[in-house]
Amino acid sequence: MSNIVAIVGRPNVGKSTLFNRLTETRKAIVHEMEGVTRDRHYGKCIWNGVEFSVIDTGGYVENSDDIFEKEISKQVLLAVEEADVIFFMVDVQTGICELDITVASMLRKAEKPVVLIVNKVDNIDRRNEAYEFYSLNFEHLFFVSSVSGSGTGEILDLTVTLFKEAPTETDDKEIPRFTIVGRPNVGKSSFLNVLIGEERNIVTPIAGTTRDTINTRYKKFNKDFILIDTAGLRKRNKEMETVEFYSVMRSIRAIENADVCFLIIDATQGFESQDMNIFRLIQKNHKGVVILVNKWDLIEKDNHTLKQYEKAIMQKIEPFNDVPILFISAVTKQRIFQALETAEKVFENRKRKIKTAELNEFLLNIIEETPPPSVKGKFIKIKYITQLQTYFPAFVFFANLPQYVKEPYKRFLENQLRKSYDFSGVPIEIFIRKK
């Protein structure tokens, strides 16, 4: 079950600073000038073993004549609608403003769990001043300093208890979920329609026809899984429609809830930067992936075209390039059902478990022959390996000096695993821990 937290509030109360701290990134620009955040930023946060998405929104301003502020306010409302928990941020330095009261009224109507966060409380005097915010009458209220991180742990402790648990009585929780993603107008809905044999989704030449995620149960030819068609993911810009922002949120949630993603690209356009962004989003969420190069029937080909095209994609997605690539046509139905068989194989790869004894017998010999490079005259010894009980392949290597094992050697270990076991289409995580 994917959960989303939206950080909302009027401009310049510290929303982006809190976002950066929760996601341990610097994705959101922080500046004392109002209105710096216009686009929404998405990040991941893990607390007490619970993973969820965090959305940083622009400052909410009511009845503004500024075109940007109008669009930002619309999208704040959509973020509130889509979120499971809302962080409502206010600023102790300015006290309760009229706009804070407006936002509070709007959030009460949403009927979602709201956590009121009084920011910039970094000394005793400001803590005393912060008590006035109890008058906003929210059940959950915390005093924090998002710059130093003071108080954020208590907020997260509460937040993970506010998420609704996934229903336990669903009969399809074990059924594979295959999500179809890609840029607008690459043929996602056409691909789905061909698979199920009916016009389930509207198909037009206009980019962005599909606005929402659509789930379809597929039960044919001894196969049983859920297909999810999503709206096209395109790079956001200043003119981005409010409804498209809503579609992007739904698509991201669909990726998070998927087991395997079909990443469809347009053969006539090649593997572009936004295709790479979607690929990295799938990889970041540890989902299986199958790349489908659609509209292959429109390409003039010779004996080398397919291999050259495949090689170009592999180079772009390095270092994770152990990914199935199929060249299909939703119009001519070329290799359509092969795509399903490949996705099923990737689904099984993602669940693959290797016995600890087998892992150690196989890998320790390789590590002994090719040990990690010594650092500052210190020799690194890896003595034990085990696979973690996660929903994706993750392995922990216990070493005497884990801090000196660098990324190139981790990739070496990953490559050795991929050579001996079929993890095609599945991201692998390598952890080095103190023995």
Q: 0.85 cut: is pTM over it?
A: no
pLDDT value at 143 more than 90: yes
Q: Two tokens at 30?
A: 């922080």
Q: Is the pLDDT of residue 239 over 50?
A: no
Give the least confident one: 45-59, 96-110, 310-324.
45-59
d(CA 13, CA 146): 10
Q: For position 171, what pLDDT does the model report?
A: 43
Six token digits for residue 284: 């970041």
Distance (Å, whole) CA 297 – CA 148: 56
**H-helix or E-strand containing 349?**
helix 336-350
DSSP string for residues in 125-180: HHHHHHGGGGGG--SEEEE-BTTTTBTHHHHHHHHHHHSPPPPS--TTTTS-EEEE
How far lies 202's CA from each of 206, 207, 290, in Å?
11, 12, 24
Residues written for the chain: 435
Q: Which range, 147-151, 198-202, 228-232, 294-298, has the best average confidence (pLDDT)?
A: 294-298
- Structure tokens, 55: 């959305």
| Whole-number Å distance between alpha carbons of 266 and 264 | 7
**CA within 13 Å, CB half, 397:** 28
Query: With 70 as the cut, is the pLDDT of residue 298 above it?
Result: yes
Q: Can you tell me the distance from the alpha carbon of 55 to that of 310, in angstroms, rounded to the nearest whole number?
A: 35
Contact 111, 139 (CB under 8 A): no
Per residue in 324-364, pLDDT (tens digit) is: 999 999 889 899 889 999 999 999 999 999 999 999 999 99
For residue 169, what are the contacts with CB-CB under 8 A and spacing of at least 6?
none
> Which residues, 6+ apart, have CB-to-CB distance to 321 below 8 Å?
314, 315
Helices 356-369 and 407-420, axial angle in degrees (round to 10): 120
Distance CA 329, CA 335 (A): 7
> Reading across the β-sheet that carries 85-91, which strands appear in turn?
41-47, 50-56, 4-8, 85-91, 114-119, 140-143
Q: Is the pLDDT of residue 175 over 50?
A: yes
In the block, residue with structure tokens 């609608």: 81
Give 238's pLDDT tier (boundaries 50, 70, 90).
Answer: very low
Q: Rounded mean pLDDT of 161-190?
A: 73
Q: Say how far apart CA 191 and CA 335 lie, in whole Å.
A: 11
